[in-house]
Structure 1
Amino acid sequence: MSGMTRPRPRVAAAAVTAAAAALVLTACSSSGSSAGGDGQIGFVTAKGKGGNISTAAVGHRQDAPDIGGKTLEGDPVRLSDYRGKVVVLNVWGSWCGPCRSEADDLQRVWEKYRDQGVQFLGINTRDTEINNAVRFEQEKGVTFPSIYDPAGAELLKFPKGSLNPQSIPTTLVVDRDGRLAARAVGGQTDDALESMLQPIVAEQQK
């Protein structure tokens, strides 16, 4: 009987890998579609020059998972560390062309809003060599921290049917109460980033 239980960890690991790989199948796409059933849970989706941007009204937001891990520099970090701030989560990989294109825009918006109660946090995924991710940040002058998540395990914690990551890159905005407020699919410009960030920054903390 004990021999029957041994494959289970392998099966679980394979399931995580397969699910993460499914996300990567749409990687580096600037035309990813929003999750099915958006209208049923209060999403509003608009297509602009920055790609698809979906937002959720305050009463329709779901809690963001408390993702965490080690940063590219080896420091522990969790999303809940920033409760009370608006958090911009950016899913990226050094191998992804649109990620490289939007990095300057993300850094500019981070520098503009960091003193307004906003925190940027990257989620680096599918980079099997951490040095590639570190080199990317150095080349692009990115100064906000990123969780190193090569297998995509943290991405799988986002509930289905929510404003969850849809492709790589995806940018999410989490409100001050830790709820998923907005999602932008594909590479973004600074104007597009600000258009979805500003209304959430302007909200009063409850």
Structure 2
Amino acid sequence: MRRLTGAVLGLLLLAGCSSGSEAVDVNNGGEFRFVAATPSGEVIPPAERASAPEFSGTLLGGGAFSSEELAGDVAVLNFWGSWCGPCRVETPEFQEVYADVRDDGVQFLGLNVKETSEQFALAFVERFGIEFPSLYDPRGEVALAFRDYPATAIPSTIVLDRDHRVAAVYTGEVSQEDLRRVLDRVLGEV
């Protein structure tokens, strides 16, 4: 019975990061757990938004980054891993959106978490032609700073408004159309 339970849990782990309906929580003491996915981003009313935590780290390939660099722009923070099936689908779509909006006051930042080697993350970025920067956060420290949203599920995406407040949160895979809709709405705010 114990082997059967272990096998079922193993299958659930494999299925969780390849499905669009669930995301895998990777920062709860090193164990995985499933959280419900949010299939579309609901924009949080401006009066109800909380400030995003400040964070910093090292970019993939080297160089320092601070969240202060996002000031004044709308920002899309995407928590991903090269090992994550839904990330392989959404990241190239994020690149397409980024290419269209980067000159409109929108910044994208990937946050690579729980990666066993920076080389895997760099190969992922190269394979999909990703031009926006990514932090290398193998221990998930930045994700933990956002644990209230919950960025500890992979993939997760958080949209920040120009005042560095959390405007929308996704757990699970994000469609390009929905991300564009949310960005248009947040960019349209005065």
Q: Structures share a fold, TM > 0.5? A: yes
Matched, 1:182 2:185: no
Normalized against structure 2, the TM-score is what? Answer: 0.81
Distance 1:77 1:94 in 2: 21
Residue 30 of structure 2 corresponds to: 21
Identity %: 36
Residues 179 and 18 (structure 1), Cα distance of their counterparts in 2 relative to 1, 3 Å cut: closer
Residue 117 of structure 1 corresponds to: 105
Shift in Å, 1:132:
0.0
Shift in Å, 1:145:
0.4
Residue 144 of structure 1 corresponds to: 132
Distance 2:170 2:160 in 1: 12
Residue 5 of structure 1 corresponds to: none
Aligned residues: 165
**Aligned counterpart in structure 2 of residue 63 of structure 1, from 44, 51, 55:** 51
Shift in Å, 1:55:
2.6
Shift in Å, 1:81:
1.0
Distance 2:147 2:123 in 1: 31
Deviations for 1:9-42, whole angstroms, at most 9, x for unmatched residues? xxxxxxxx963635x433xxxxx437xxxxxxxx
Residues 154 and 73 (structure 1), Cα distance of their counterparts in 2 relative to 1, 3 Å cut: same
Distance 2:153 2:28 in 1: 12
Q: Report the aligned-residue RMSD.
A: 1.8
Question: Which amino acid in 2 is paired with 1:33?
Answer: A
Computing the radius of gyration from Cα coordinates, the structure with the larger value is 1
Q: Which runs of 5+ in 1 are unaligned?
A: 1-16, 27-31, 35-46
Distance 1:78 1:118 in 2: 16
Matched residue of 1:115: which SS?
helix
Normalized against structure 1, the TM-score is what? Answer: 0.75
Residue 171 of structure 1 corresponds to: 157
Matched residue of 2:157: which SS?
strand
Deviations for 1:137-180, whole angstroms, at most 9, x for unmatched residues? 000000100111101111111253xx332521111100111100
The runs of at least 4 aligned residues of structure 1 exceeding 6 Å deviation read none
Distance 2:152 2:136 in 1: 18
Matched, 1:201 2:173: no
Residues 20 and 168 (structure 1), Cα distance of their counterparts in 2 relative to 1, 3 Å cut: farther
Q: Which runs of 5+ in 2 are unaligned?
A: 1-25
